[in-house]
């Protein structure tokens, strides 16, 4: 897998996760809560920041990939490689 993007915003990540059924269900302060029903209900909280820290992005991707039962590297490749 290539490197994770270093300039990805929280909004961009939320948009990318839409293809897996995630939608913003709550916004509070500088965070968004996304929920999917795909594969059972799952929630993930994303900071609404202009640039996500790499560790934060990695943690979110791990949570989503665990829920979807796919490798994190495969999820990242699908979402970010063009």
What is residue 3's predicted lDDT score, i.e. its pLDDT?
A: 82
Give the global pTM.
Answer: 0.92
pLDDT at residue 2, rounded to an integer? 65
Which regions of the chain are under pLDDT 70?
1-2, 82
Find the radius of gyration of the CA atoms of the chain.
12
What pLDDT does 51 receive? Answer: 95
- Residue reference for tokens 């820290």: 53
Domains of the chain: 10-80 (3.30.920.30)
Model pLDDT, residue 82: 65
C-beta of residue 68 within 8 angstroms of C-beta of residue 20: yes
DSSP annotation of 29: T
CA distance 67 to 51: 24
3-state secondary structure of 63: helix
């Amino acid at each position: 897998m290539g490197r994770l993007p270093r300039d990805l915003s929280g909004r961009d990540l939320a948009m990318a996760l839409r293809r897996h059924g995630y939608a913003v269900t709550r916004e509070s302060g500088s965070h968004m809560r996304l929920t999917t029903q795909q594969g059972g209900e799952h929630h993930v909280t994303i900071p609404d920041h202009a640039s996500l820290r790499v560790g934060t992005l990695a943690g979110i991707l791990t949570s989503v990939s665990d829920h979807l039962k796919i490798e994190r590297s495969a999820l990242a490749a699908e979402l970010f490689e063009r």
